[in-house]
Amino acid sequence: MFNLKYLRKYSVPVVFTHDICAVVFSWWIAFFVRFDLGTISLKVIQHGLKLELFIVASHIFFYWKYKTYRPLWRFFSLPELFQLSKAVLYAWCVNICVLFLFRDLVQVPKSIWFIYPFWLMLILGLSRLAIRYFRDKQTAAHEIKRVLIIGAGKGAELFLRELARWPEKKFQPIASLDDDETLKGKEIRGVPILGSLSLLSDIVKKEKIDVVVMAIPSMQTLEFRNIIKTCEKINVSVLVLPSFSEIDKSSSNSLHPREILLEDLLGRDPIQLDWDGIKNFLFEKVVFVTGGGGSIGSELCQEIIKSNPKKLIVIDHSEFNLYQIENDLRNSGALNIQIELLNITDSITVQHIMEKYKPSIVFHAAAYKHVPILESHVFQAVKNNILGTKILAESAIKNNVDKFIMVSSDKAVNPTNIMGATKRIAELFCQSYNTISKTAFITVRFGNVIGSTGSVIPLFKKQIENGGPLTVTHPDMSRYFMTIKEASQLILQAGMQGVGGEIFVLDMGQPVKIIDLAKELIKLSGKKLNDIKIIFTGLRPGEKLYEELFYDKEKLLETKQKKIFKANSEFQMDGNAFQKAINMIEISCKQHNEDFLIETVHHILRNEGKLLERRSKNKEEMNVLIEV
């Protein structure tokens, strides 16, 4: 294989020297061809030497004029060939004209003047094409990645079959590893299965592997993480085959391996849902989804439409979000959908669409959730998260809705901020209404969702793109995470199995430190930890170091779905006093009295919250009003 570094560094003198030598060689080749490689007279040789100096000089001039030394040989093609031909042609014409004027033309056989340019073009063209050929071969060899496939099942077989169809050769499968001992020594589409995953490091080093491709969709998450850590240690890149659900969503419908996503590392093992029960729950029903254009709401809509509801009503206050989710649903073939642009605090419009569509099931995912922002926008947080829920719930009762499923948050447990307090009161509100109505009110509580709008992950990705630094509030801060898809599916499962009054808590696995999350994102971006700086900015208003999924007093009970627990929590407040407190919240919002509003929230959560104390002159007055 040619080493072209020297040629690239000294390209102009090398090319010029080569092209001048080509003129000399072609000139004398023409003589030997003309005389059939036989004896050439001394006179002819002397005359050829005399003419050679002038011929070389004329070619040098036209090489320089047409800059034939400039084009890169590894990209040599027709335009460069045409330019080269012009230089040779003009030099040839000048040579004949000048020599004819000096009467020297008759001293050289005429055929030589036609043989030498032919050989010259042949030498110049073939040399350039040879360089391009070897350069392309070098590039191709460098670009083709030697691949080790993890898995020898259906996923690996589909990948190898797809690989054979690709016109571009990016990967060369070398071997496969699988923990099934019965497969050792066998082949899958010509690729040898060398043994178990414990051989990963040895095989990568021995076979000079460039890329490891994960081809086991059902692999346990812990095992997946261990393989990633091993690959990081031996400095080999890892790609993942898309899951079959991802292929279904993809317009290209291909098995091209993709980069590792954070969801792959933070996600949990696949969950087994009662899909038959979920489909029966939603089939031929009119279903409302509030906040249907948001992260959770839009994924809920995607899952609900698979169960063929009679009609899916998507509600959101953002026209852009509605536009996006409607397009997504229409593109997937959904016809039985309707979008409604409204704010859930608009009681008249809410009642109107409830009467218009008569839903059987309501999924309430609309909420303000950004903790620091809501700390300084108390009224909007209360109006949307508490009063909006109240308006929807009362309208659901009036219109005989069968089930009302509210999406809650882990921040509702021992709330230290306005957002958590409003979600906790919304939980209590649903439990309260469940005791006085035929509508079954169900609450589903879980933690952070990977990639949702306003979450830390998109922020980190943007900061990495900008070169850092990554801003982490505290080195010990941790959060629970789950994927959007998993959250939406478990909401459906909880809604299906709930009978009313429950607070379901989703199994979020182990909490993840935000600092570890930041480091993983840096590594996934292809950078080293030293490349991106991480700075600590301190806790923001209302933030906690860690979140909780349930109160100490709430005993978690298992359900038939092992990823869903039921909090043994019943509504224990006096119903009339609670309703009076909600009325006081409404009055506080109308009067824009923040002190009175905060004290009312304190009063409702006085036995369970850790909401930050705020100064208020109306505390005693508020207590008297509620007790009365």
DSSP states along 120-164: HHHHHHHHHHHHHHHHHHHHHHHHSEEEEEE--SHHHHHHHHHHH
DSSP state of 510: S
Q: What is the torsional sign of CA 554, 557, 561, 563?
A: positive
The SS3 assignment for 249 reads: helix
Distance CA 368, CA 417 (A): 13
Q: What is the DSSP string of 278-318?
A: HHHHHTT-EEEEETTTSHHHHHHHHHHGGG--SEEEEEES-
Q: Which of these, 279, 301, 276, 274, lies nearest to 288 by C-alpha position?
A: 301
Q: Crossing angle of helices 42-65/78-101, nearest 10°?
A: 130
If one counts every other C-beta atom within 10 angstroms of the C-beta of residue 227, the result is 18
Select which of 411, 423, 563, 566 is catalytic: 411
Could you give the CA distance from residue 551 to residue 64 in angstroms, rounded to a whole number? 85
Using CA atoms, how far apart are residues 453 and 590, in angstroms rounded to an integer? Answer: 30
Q: How many CB atoms lie within 10 A of CB 599?
A: 24
Q: How far apart are CA 296 and CA 267, in angstroms?
A: 16
CA distance 95 to 116: 12
249 labelled catalytic: no
The residue to which tokens 């020898």 are assigned: 152
> What is the sign of the dihedral through the CA atoms of 39, 43, 46 and 50?
negative
- Residues annotated catalytic, as ranges: 411
